[in-house]
């Protein structure tokens, strides 16, 4: 081999391999977005034989706001209004990295929020017995209780303990709170009907904790909207022991639809859930996304509303479902916020 060729060959060996840029699908570079901002990205290629180890988001140089193991990243970040020169970066197992820079402008969602609803007055509990699951205020075979202002476990000294017990297999307990409109507990009767019909988006944001989580069949998080004889019941449930995925409620046909989005909450730990839904311009129910413990999955499934003559308002629900033995269990809820706009 000639010396020149040998020199070039050795030089090539000494040059670090190039890594492909990170593939950022959301948000778009140069876009204007609302907070919380949804970040979604996948790793680019690497010459490292053992692959990519982790990915992260810098909201500014040196400000690492989020990191996750693996080759995919999907999360929501709450960011103040302003312009961000963000970077999504990957690190491989050989010590290399690559990144993609994006500039975004963050604006306020313009929404309004009910904060710490778990500590609010106005919660009412109802039993639901199989097979019809009609609500009842005194039900043979299922019991329930609600304790507010719980200091431990709690994130802020005011969690709420929701409990179910009894003897009827697969019995459920529903708690609801009428926020706006008929029966309001928040001083918002909306008698002029100017608020409820103009709300299109909801974000259900809560933390939950259970010592006996696997006694549960499902845990349900719902928000409902009623006006002009239409009902929009955004029902979502986490299949704790029966599939480990999220289900959504097809209100028009009165049935649960199983998704492939995982729902595997942690026992003896605080779990953070964020659920986003929307009433579309043509009055359909749109299930947008689920976030559990920082990992977001988009769904974007649409269903028809149902008939609800004479009902008016916005309601939030929390529900515990009993298993085949109806083993007693409790779930602590904290920082339950509902944002609407």
Which of these three, 107, 135, 154, is where a domain ends? 107
- Element of type H or E holding 6: helix 3-14
Predicted pLDDT of residue 19: 55
Distance of CA 150 to the CA centre of its chain: 24
229 in the same domain as 82: no
139 in the same domain as 209: yes
- Whether 5 shows a pLDDT value over 60: the answer reads no
The proportion of the chain whose per-residue pLDDT surpasses 70, expressed as a percent, equals: 94
159 in the same domain as 65: no
- Tell me the pLDDT band of 320, cut-offs 50, 70 and 90: very high
Name 112's Cβ contacts closer than 8 Å, sequence gap at least 6: 339, 340, 341
Looking from the CA of 210 toward its CB, the CA atoms found within 13 Å total 22
- Whether 210 shows a pLDDT value over 90: the answer reads yes
Is 212 part of any domain? yes
Q: Where are the beta strands (DSSP E) in 35-111?
A: 37-42, 52-60, 63-69, 72-77, 82-92, 97-107
61 in the same domain as 165: no
144 in the same domain as 79: no
121 in the same domain as 97: no
On whether the pTM is more than 0.85, the answer is no
279 in the same domain as 258: yes
Is 224 part of any domain? yes
The residue length of the chain stands at 341
Is 7 part of any domain? no
The average pLDDT across 114-125 equals 97
- Whether 334 shows a pLDDT value over 80: the answer reads yes
- Whether 220 shows a pLDDT value over 60: the answer reads yes
- At 117, give phi and psi (nearest 5°): -65, -25
Which of these three, 76, 107, 138, is where a domain ends? 107
Is 51 part of any domain? yes
Predicted pLDDT of residue 172: 98
Give per-residue pLDDT as tens, 191-206.
Answer: 999 999 999 999 999 9
Is residue 83 classed as helix, strand or coil in its secondary structure? strand
Give per-residue pLDDT as tens, 133-174.
Answer: 999 998 999 999 999 999 999 998 999 999 999 999 999 999
Is 27 part of any domain? yes
- Whether 299 shows a pLDDT value over 50: the answer reads yes
The proportion of the chain whose per-residue pLDDT surpasses 90, expressed as a percent, equals: 81
If one counts the domains in the chain, the total is 2
214 in the same domain as 80: no
Picking from 246, 227, 233, 201, the residue whose alpha carbon sits closest to that of residue 303 is 233
Is 89 part of any domain? yes
140 in the same domain as 97: no
Give per-residue pLDDT as tens, 240-298.
Answer: 998 899 999 999 999 999 999 999 999 999 999 999 999 999 999 999 999 999 898 99
The average pLDDT across 289-311 equals 95
Mean pLDDT for the chain? 91
Is 56 part of any domain? yes
Neighbours of 143 (CB within 10 A): 18
Predicted pLDDT of residue 67: 94
- CATH assignment at residue 260: 2.60.120.200
- Whether 222 shows a pLDDT value over 60: the answer reads yes
- CATH assignment at residue 74: 2.60.40.10
- Whether 108 shows a pLDDT value over 80: the answer reads no
- Tell me the pLDDT band of 77, cut-offs 50, 70 and 90: confident
The average pLDDT across 207-212 equals 98
- Tell me the pLDDT band of 14, cut-offs 50, 70 and 90: very low
Is 3 part of any domain? no
Predicted pLDDT of residue 30: 87
- Whether 58 shows a pLDDT value over 60: the answer reads yes
296 in the same domain as 231: yes
Residue-range definition of the domain harbouring residue 119: 112-340
120 in the same domain as 101: no
The residue among 300 and 32 whose pLDDT is bigger is 300
Predicted pLDDT of residue 27: 87
46 in the same domain as 118: no
CB-based contact 55:88 (threshold 8 Å): yes
Which of these three, 54, 77, 107, is where a domain ends? 107
């Amino acid at each position: 081999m000639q010396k020149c060729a040998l020199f070039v060959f050795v030089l090539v060996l000494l040059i670090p391999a190039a890594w492909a840029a990170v593939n950022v699908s959301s948000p778009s570079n140069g876009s204007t977005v609302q907070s919380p901002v949804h970040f979604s990205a996948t790793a680019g290629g690497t010459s490292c034989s053992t692959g990519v180890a982790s990915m992260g988001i810098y909201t500014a140089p040196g400000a690492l706001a989020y990191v996750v193991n693996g080759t995919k990243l999907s999360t929501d970040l709450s960011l103040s209004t302003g312009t961000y020169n963000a970077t999504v970066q990957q690190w491989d197992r050989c010590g290399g990295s690559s990144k993609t820079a994006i500039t975004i402008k963050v604006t306020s969602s313009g929404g309004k929020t009910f904060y710490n609803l778990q500590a609010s007055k106005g919660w009412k509990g109802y039993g639901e017995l199989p097979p019809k699951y009609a609500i009842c205020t005194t039900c043979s075979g299922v019991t329930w209780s609600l304790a507010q202002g719980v200091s431990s476990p709690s994130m802020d000294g005011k969690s709420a303990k929701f409990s179910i017990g009894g003897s009827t297999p697969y019995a459920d307990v529903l708690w609801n709170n009428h926020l706006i409109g008929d029966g309001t507990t928040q001083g918002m009767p909306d008698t002029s009907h100017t608020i409820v019909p103009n709300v299109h988006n909801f974000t259900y944001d809560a933390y939950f904790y259970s010592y006996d989580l696997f006694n549960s069949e499902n845990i349900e998080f719902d928000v409902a909207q009623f006006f002009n004889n239409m009902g929009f019941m955004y029902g979502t449930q986490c299949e704790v022991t029966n599939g480990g995925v999220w289900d959504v409620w097809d209100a028009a046909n009165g049935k649960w639809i199983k998704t492939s989005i995982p729902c595997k909450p942690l026992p003896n730990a605080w779990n953070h859930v964020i659920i986003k839904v929307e009433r579309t311009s043509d009055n359909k129910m749109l299930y947008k996304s689920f976030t559990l413990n920082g990992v977001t999955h988009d769904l974007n499934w649409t269903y028809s509303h149902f008939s609800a003559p004479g009902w008016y308002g916005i309601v939030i629900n929390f529900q515990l479902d009993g298993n085949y033995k109806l083993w007693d269990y409790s779930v602590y809820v904290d920082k339950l916020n509902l944002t609407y706009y």
